[in-house]
Structure 1
Amino acid sequence: MKIFSKEQIYEGDKITTERQQISSTDLMERAATQIFNWIHMRMQGAQVPIHVFCGIGNNGGDGLVLARHLILDGYNVKTYVVNCSDKRSKDFLINYDRIKNVTKEWPTLLKCAEDFPEINPNDIIVDAVFGIGLNRPIDDWVKGLFMHFRASKAFTLSIDIPSGLFPDKAVEDEDAVVWAGYTLSFASPKLVFFLPETAKYTVQWEVLDIGLDQEFLQTTQTEVELIGKHEVLPNYIPRDKFSHKGQFGHALIIGGSYGKMGAVTLASRATLSAGAGLVSAYIPKCGYTVLQSAFPEAMVITDADEEKITSISFEIKPTVIAFGIGVGTDAKTLNAFEAFLKTNKTPLVIDADGINLLSKKKALLKLLPVETVLTPHPKELERLIGKWKNDFDKLKKAKAFSKKYNVILLIKGANTITLFEDKLYVNTTGNPGLSTAGSGDVLTGIITGLISQGYHPVVAAIFGVYLHGKSADIAVEDFGYQSLIATHVIEYLGEAYLDLFKQPEPIQQEESTEESTKE
């Protein structure tokens, strides 16, 4: 799913009105009617008090249209205009006149804290105060209104975006933003719904189709894409009946040190489970028995040193190499890594201490092959790109880093972002159960296994992050968040693949009482 920028949404509205020969007021009517349909389908006329708070711009116009439809359908509605400016949009004014024609109870004008209405916990708040066009700090009394919403503990539904939340920059004051239980977003979700610092402002979200021009939606290229099953499935490479292991590559996992052989074992298992034809592990001597016993499917090459990697030399010709899992940051390991990079031309996936070694000697970044995949956790990312002020600053720094070194960068989190140059791919799978030792090693192995089979590194990173999260989503049903471990993610990887081809089960309609009685 594409995530459109603020400017693209404005352009989409403009193109839609021109091509469909409708006015912006008509488009607003269409959008707000969709919100009414969403509410009506769930409430079915229930007389719960609904408080609709409208700004004086187009988001407020949406709120006025919604309130009018709710009134006409007999709902218990109170409408308010948050009088935060002397300027009103044209469509707001049109719909302000329209709502006055259907009710004797005109919208209440709010100008200060003394005007705030009483809201009970069982009421519903509809937030239509500010939309994506907000470009300035809000007044203190409006901030007080948002805090009043939150203090009421009433369910809050935001239209398009929680008011006070900017679609393209960080929040400076969390009290100046509506904390929504649900957001109905037009055309596409907003990037801020997926960033660690701003995702908290809406518990859930849903996209409403408001009939924007289909050609615009299909042909417009976006900087951000939301990745789910439908986005990764077209990239899946099926296997031929007569295929053999030699067609799916030979992956080499370089890593491990004394006491950290589990990381290499997990990464190696994940690589083979993801579909690599062959897997070899290059490890210190101390890990030989461990790896051969724990994962007999892997071939093992050992370093001359007993406890750490001190040189990297092998006779095989791997399709892809993963480096850094449990390798440590010893000076001898750093020297071995540098010597390896100076001659290596094989695609690379670098994780964990491999990233820490790059951070210790950043000149090595220039030696990385084009489209090397880097999979840092947040602290490792900070060592690579420097400290950031907020999530948007982090993305800016990460983009600059990716372009400078021509690498693919993973920004791990609840919605892991795969970043390459200016393009962001936001993942939708995964759960808190992945906050466990070894899950990053498994992710590295999955991506390595996909590259081994012939997936382009960018596709492998996107697909690998999806499969990793999906496997955890399936496994958590059996183990719960607390008991999920990295090994489970590997064990359920096959089910994650199979899930790609599962069709949703048809909804079974219950038989009527009359029909049941006849039987």
Structure 2
Amino acid sequence: MIKIFPTIQIKELDAYTIENEPIASIDLMERASQALAKAISERWGAETPFTVFAGPGNNGGDALAVSRLLAEQGYRVEVYLFNTKGTLSPDCETNKERLARVSGIDFHEITTQFVPPVLTAEHVVVDGLFGSGLNKPLSGGFAAVVKYINSSPATVVAIDVPSGLMGEDNTYNIQANIIRADLTLSLQLPKLAFLFAENEPFVGEWQLLDIGLSEEAITEKETDFALTEHEDMASMLKPRGKFAHKGSFGRALLIAGSQGMAGASVLAARACLRSGVGLLTVHIPFCNNFIVQTAVPEAMTEIDINDVRFSCATDTDDYQAVGIGPGLGRAEDTEAALLDQIDSCQTPMIVDADALNLLGEHRSYIGRLPKGSILTPHPKELERLVGKCQNSYERLTKARELAKSAGVYIILKGAYSVIIAPSEKCWFNPTGNPGMATGGSGDVLTGVVLALLAQGYDAETAARMAAYVHGLAGDIACKKHGAMGMTAGDIVTCLPLAWRMLEEKL
């Protein structure tokens, strides 16, 4: 996994590396700048004109060093160093002196008046005004420079973090005063803000660059946030024994579907069966029985007393996991049956879709869910449980509070779905694509989680692995069908290949 540290802790990692490698801070800056220049030169040739905007701190020092390295490779570079207070950081000052020894660079040090350069669509702007240490919105002259860059047709590359963007919480930031980068070259580790939907216009594509920060310090330093990697999931997958039988892989109960919503139960059931469960029973109204029996012959059905919807809690003693919610509807008797089901169930539950919406009217019942239960809300469903949120940071904060207070796990779905434990630890999921933004995709995820819980995976592992494989199957489907043409059923169809990729550590 890739750890995600608050920006203040990244400074501590820098300091630890400088002290214990040991390496001088100016040499660590040079190492970072070499990685930056290499990444830039791999994308743009020497014929591309570069305009570099450098601030007075260490982010500006990086920018000056990158300017020198690019110029030494034959790039045409124009540099604007903003030194309006007459004070540069020591390493920025050193890189200014080094830059002065290189010929062919058009260098401007701005102390008072700034005359903006002409920026065309052919230009690449390197943003090195401010880095991750920023703790208040940009204003005044720097805000004006940001607005000028954003109004230009140039391609913008941000060093470490787009100037004006804070590393975590941007609730009170001024969006107009944040660089809108096309590419952000993040040093060593990602910033939490990169993973929030509202920051995509500022971050653009982001790429991690290894600058050799202490692996020992990264390993030892604790953080509540991490980005899952393929190797993490492959190592968690349990081998299936040669003498195993269907009873070895658990019995799952899926309570899903209502009149006109049989598809939700079909998708969730198919996903569950494609994710290794031993036996699956689907609790459905009679009106959906023929559809489910025909579409999913591997599943058994249990018929509700109501012909068109879930209306009566059922016995769960014989099951290792219970999934509830897809296509359930919100009728009064369904609501009552859901609450009864929660009170009577001792088996871990996966709660999704309409079950979440109904719980929004009975929030106290979240804390009554059996130990090891998992909620799988999208942002709007979460807000029905925790209240309105201004942005992704507040949504994540409230979801963490809910997980802790109710003792449940949460898969908060999105481009970087985040799995939240009752300990408030968070794992962001890297797989998935916009083609998965289609009806039924969440039902598929519910089926995958249900299968893993039934097989005996603990809730944390089940949630993390399900989110990863669900997204991986979506990525496979996207390559095959394209984002526009794929459906939730395509994700189910691609689950076996996704599981094989984990089994074979591909």
TM tier, smaller: over 0.9
Rate the CA distance shift 1:501–1:279 in 2: closer, same or farther, 3 A: closer
Matched letter for residue 357 of structure 1 = L
Partner of 1:517: none
Residue matched to 1:173: 174
When structure 1 is superposed on structure 2, of 176-185 and 334-343 the one drifting more is 334-343
**Could you tell me how far 1:212 is from its partner in structure 2?**
1.0
The answer to which of 232-241 and 220-229 deviates more is: 220-229
Question: Could you say what secondary structure the match of 2:198 adopts?
Answer: coil
State the distance in 1 between where 2:295 and 2:505 align.
36
Q: What is the aligned partner in structure 1 of residue 490 from structure 2?
A: 488
Give the equivalent residue in structure 1 for 2:243: 242
Indicate if the aligned counterparts of 1:249 and 1:277 stay in contact, CA closer than 8 A.
yes
Residues 84, 142 of structure 1: 8 Å contact kept: no
Indicate the residue corresponding to 1:283 in structure 2: 284
* Residue aligning to 1:73: 73
Do 2:8 and 2:133's aligned partners in 1 also have CA atoms closer than 8 Å?
Answer: no
The reply on whether 1:470 has 2:463 as its aligned counterpart is no
Matches within 5 A, 1:430-469: 430-469=432-471
Residues 114, 54 of structure 1: alpha-carbon distance in 2 compared, 3 angstrom cutoff: closer
- Higher mean C-alpha displacement, 59-68 vs 105-114: 105-114
The residue aligned with 1:8 is: 9
> For the residues of structure 2 that align with 1:95 and 1:454, how far apart are their CA atoms?
57
Tell me the equivalent position of 2:188: 187
Map of 1:15-94 to 2, 5 A cutoff? 15-43=16-44, 46-94=46-94
Q: Counterpart in 2 of 1:127?
A: 127
Q: 1:446 to 1:113 in 2, by over 3 A?
A: farther
> How far off is 1:150 after superposition?
2.5
Q: Which amino acid aligns with 1:342?
A: D
Output aligned runs, 1:243-322, within 5 Å. Answer: 243-314=244-315, 317-322=318-323
Deviations 1:122-177 (A, max 9, x none): 01111111000011221233222222223322121111111111101116322211
Choose 108-117 or 444-453, whichever is displaced more. 108-117
What's the secondary structure of 2:222's corresponding residue?
coil
After TM superposition, the structure 1 = structure 2 runs for residues 86-105 of structure 1, keeping only pairs within 5 Å, are 86-103=86-103
- 1:370–1:111 Cα change, 3 Å: farther
Secondary structure in 1 matching 2:242: coil
Question: Which residue identity lines up with residue 470 of structure 1 in the other structure?
Answer: L
SS in 1 for 2:491: helix
Name the structure 2 match of 1:379. Answer: 380
Computed over aligned residues only, the root mean square deviation of the Cα atoms, in angstroms, reads 1.8
Separation in structure 2 between the aligned mates of residue 47 and residue 106 of structure 1, nearest angstrom: 16
**Cα pair distance change 1:200/1:105, threshold 3 Å:** closer
- 2:158 — aligned with what? 158
Amino acid at match of 1:257: S
2:58, 2:89 within 8 Å by CA — same for their partners in 1?
A: yes
Q: 1:314 to 1:63 in 2, by over 3 A?
A: same
Counterpart for residue 403 of structure 1: 404
1:104 deviation in Å?
7.5
AA aligned to 1:488 is: D
1:145 is matched with 145
Deviation at 1:408, TM superposition (A): 0.9
Partner of 1:511: none
Shift in alpha-carbon separation, 1:399–1:418, aligned structure 2, 3 A: same
Q: What CA distance in whole angstroms lies between the structure 2 residues aligned with 1:337 and 1:54?
A: 59
Alignment length, in residue pairs?
A: 503
Supply the distance in 2 between the matched residues of 1:42 and 1:18 (Cα, whole angstroms): 34
2-side partners of 1:199 and 1:84: how far apart? 30
Query: Are the counterparts in 2 of residues 84 and 139 from structure 1 also a CA contact under 8 Å?
Result: no
**Aligned amino acid, residue 190 of structure 1:** K
Query: SS state of the match for residue 10, structure 2?
Result: helix
**TM-score for both structures, normalised by structure 1:** 0.93
Distance of aligned partners of 1:408 and 1:55 in 2 relative to their CA distance in 1, 3 Å threshold:
same
* Residue 107 (structure 2) aligns with: 107
Match of 1:323 in 2: 324
Aligned-partner Cα distance in 1 for 2:463–2:84 = 46
Gaps of 5+ in 1: 505-519
**Are the counterparts in 1 of residues 316 and 345 from structure 2 also a CA contact under 8 Å?**
no
8 Å contact 1:378–1:411 — kept in the other structure?
A: yes
Distance 1:315 1:261 in 2: 22
Aligned in 2, Cα 1:322/1:147: closer, same or farther, shift over 3 Å? same
Which position in structure 1 is the counterpart of 2:357? Answer: 356
Q: Answer whether contact 1:100 1:106 (CA < 8 A) is retained.
A: no
Look up the equivalent residue of 1:219 and give its one-letter code. E
Q: Does residue 1:345 correspond to 2:341, yes or no?
A: no
Q: Provide the rounded CA distance (Å) in 2 between the counterparts of 1:83 and 1:122.
A: 27
- Residue 363 of structure 1, CA deviation: 2.1
Distance 2:446 2:258 in 1: 17
Give the drift of 1:202: 2.3
Q: Deviations over 1:309-356 (max 9, x none)?
A: 221223760010001121122222222222222221101100011111
1:83-129 deviation line (CA, Å, top 9, x unaligned):
35454212112222222233485731235675211112101111111
Using a 3 Å threshold, how does the CA distance of structure 1 residues 129 and 306 change in structure 2: closer, same or farther?
same
Alpha carbons 1:325, 1:351 under 8 Å: kept: yes
Gaps (5+ residues) in structure 2? Answer: none
- Residue type matched to 1:115 in 2? V
Distance 2:201 2:462 in 1: 29
* Cα distance change on mapping 1:310 and 1:501 into 2, 3 Å: closer
Checking the alignment, whether the CA contact within 8 Å between 2:48 and 2:122 is kept in structure 1 is yes
Q: Which residue of 2 aligns with 1:221?
A: 222
Could you tell me whether the CA contact under 8 Å between 1:29 and 1:62 is conserved in 2?
Answer: yes
Evaluate the alpha carbon distance shift between residue 186 and residue 138 of structure 1 in structure 2; reply closer, same or farther with a 3 A threshold. Answer: same
TM-score, normalised on structure 2? Answer: 0.95
> What SS does structure 2 have at the residue aligned with 1:246?
helix
3-state SS of 1:78 partner: strand
The answer as to whether partners of 1:112 and 1:141 remain within 8 angstroms in 2 is: no
SS in 2 for 1:107: strand
- The aligned amino acid for 1:55 is G
The answer to whether the 8 Å contact 2:86/2:111 transfers is no
